[in-house]
Amino acid sequence: MMEIRVHGRGGQGSVTASELIAVAAISEGKYAQAIPSFGPERRGAPVVAFTRISDDKIWERTAIYNPDVVVVLDPSLIKVVNVAGGLKSGGTIVANTKLTPAELQKQVGANVKYATVDATTIALKELGAPIFNTPMLGAFSKATGLVRLESLIQAAKEKFPGAAGERNAKAIERAYDETRMVGG
């Protein structure tokens, strides 16, 4: 079973990103669950969401404390939250940042695989808004291979029909192409 923790800020789509990863995995014949984490958070406050993917049924329904993959939607969280906290040995951090993967590795310090993409610029260009969740799906796919790019694009098009779905598909694809990786 692979466990994913998504860090973002309220209103950036952390829960939606978690759900779309699960939907894409299910469309590929895997078992998956998306677990939102709600509390007194408000727009802009740090939030997390969780996803599990497995070839077998998933019985566990708890929060994820030791993820295999961490996805960081908002680059400011890297300095505010211990995004590498609990990350399994050999894990992966996929971050929205202008830093190179090597620069992020120096900043975070964990000996894991790093993948970075400037999802902020992609979101502003392709979506016209600072909503980083769908571009980060492309980066997630490239960095982990847990779900195919095509499955994530289809999940986004189903969630956001019409022109919005097409814009999100373009953002996902562009982020996939622009993701850089180091480590592992």
Res. 175: pLDDT tops 60: yes
Q: Rounded to an integer, what distance in angstroms lies between the CA atom of residue 26 and that of residue 21?
A: 9
Q: Calculate the average pLDDT of the chain.
A: 93
- Nearest-5° Cα angle at 135, 164 to 16: 70
Range of the domain at 84: 2-182
List the CATH number of the domain containing 132.
Answer: 3.40.920.10
Which pTM value belongs to this model? Answer: 0.94
Question: What total number of domains does the chain contain?
Answer: 1
pLDDT tens track for 79-102: 888 999 999 999 999 999 999 999
pLDDT tens track for 12-67: 889 999 999 999 999 999 999 999 876 555 667 788 999 999 999 999 988 899 99
CB pairs under 8 A, 24+ apart, for 152-161?
152/20, 152/21, 152/24, 154/24, 154/27, 155/20, 155/23, 155/24, 155/27, 156/20, 158/23, 159/16, 159/19, 159/20, 159/23
